[in-house]
Amino acid sequence: MAIEGAELVKAAAFLGAGLAMGLGAIGPGIGEGMVAAKACEAIGKNPKEAGLLTRTMLVGQAVSESTGIYSLVIALLLLFVV
């Protein structure tokens, strides 16, 4: 086996990138779904406030998205920079 250390490091980085993005998409995916589900319910009951509710939904989702973006950043760093 002609494996050098730098290659073992790369292999670990690639596996880690896959785990970081895969696991890191579960939380925001479900969380943002809950936000939009409740926003649809609220708009259905009170359609006059649709603009306000859509704005709140997008702000709430944007914050919830953040951890998904952190995961993306870590995965990209593991792929290219390191």
Residues 6-65 that bind a second copy (CB under 8 A): 6-50, 52-54, 56-65
Rounded to a whole number of angstroms, the minimum distance from the CB of residue 48 to a second copy is 8
- Number of residues binding to a second copy, judged by CB under 8 A: 79
Residue 75 parent element (H or E): helix 50-76
Shortest separation between residue 2's beta carbon and a second copy, angstroms:
5
The closest of 28, 25, 32, 21 to 78, measured between CA atoms, is: 21
Residue 77 Cβ vs a second copy, minimum distance, rounded to whole Å: 6
Q: Please tell me the number of Cα atoms within 13 Å of 72 on its side-chain side.
A: 7
